[in-house]
A = this chain, B = another copy of it.
Amino acid sequence: MKIVFIGAGNLATRVSLALKEAGEVIVQVYSHTENSARTLGEKIGCSYTTDLKKIYPDADLYIFSVKDSVLPEVIAGIPSNDALWVHTAGSISREVFAGKQVRYGVFYPLQTFSKEREVDFSVIPFFVEANRRDDAPLLQNLAGKLSKNVRETSLEERRQIHLAAVFACNFTNHMYAIAAELLEKEQLPFDLLIPLIDETAAKIHEMPPLQAQTGPAVRYDRNVIGKHLDMLQNKTLKTLYTELSQNIHTLHNDKEQYL
């Protein structure tokens, strides 16, 4: 099976390299950024292009991994063929390909990728969808070469998982970033927090996050909360601190009415 990657960002980089490692044949990479296209093409050892018109027409699978907002125009710029086209986005319907292509689907790995960081694909959940029933096994099989955790999903489920992932990953990472800024302000090293960050993540392997919660907010310790609010000079952070503390308190005291 010959694969073309449309996109050369974080996800495209890690997934294409993992597929190559698993023995798949990536024949070409497209990116509208010359440097990204060349870098990934060289890493994979395949050709690359920045011109949608030069994308090979005869591959078997086209994996679209571009910013959601440009996906429709990228699709529109490539001639239809009889191959399978999939995207890797968490919140976009596979129907984005409808009308343009006969065979299409979704190939969504639930992970945070950075170009320069290797990850263990074997544990990453892959969510696949295909509009044609006989294409689903093809995608499951491909994902199965990377991961032990592959499932077919609906758009609704995938969207909900993506939304939950924004909280569990992007907003979580932002909490780390705020902590880093607060420490940097006092010339304290961020490394101090690493054992705490590791343990916070490790705990939820063993118990639900609701049970794992500690700290001033869940105790609703007004003394500490008040001191912390005094220390935060930034108005937005003051608001976030207050709202997050209240929200912790709400979830712990009225879980049934929480959502």
Contacts and interface: CB of A to CB of B under 8 A. Distances in A.
A22 to B, nearest CB: 18
A102 interface: no
A134 interface: no
A206 interface: yes
A73 interface: no
Contact of A228 (B163, B169, B185): B163
A250 B113 CA distance: 22
Interface string A88-125: 00110000000000000000001111101101100111
Given A117-B206, A160-B182, A203-B112, A196 B169 contact: yes
Contact of A212 (B114, B198, B200, B216): B114
A124 to B, nearest CB: 6
A177 B209 contact: yes
Contacts of A232: 163
A208 B217 CA distance: 26
Secondary structure at the A interface, as helix, strand, loop or mixed, is: helix
B259 A171 contact: no
B192 A161 contact: yes
A138 interface: no
Q: Classify chain A: how many residues form its interface, as a range.
A: 35 or more
Contacts of A159: 227, 231
B175 A167 contact: yes
A165 B224 CA distance: 13
B67 A219 contact: yes
Interface string A123-164: 111000000000000000000000001000000110111111
A195 B248 contact: no
Interface string A182-203: 1101101010111111111101
Interface of A: 10, 67-69, 90-91, 110-114, 116-117, 119-120, 123-125, 149, 156-157, 159-183, 185-186, 188, 190, 192-201, 203-219, 221-224, 227-228, 231-234, 236-237, 239-241, 243-244, 246-248, 250-251, 255, 258-259
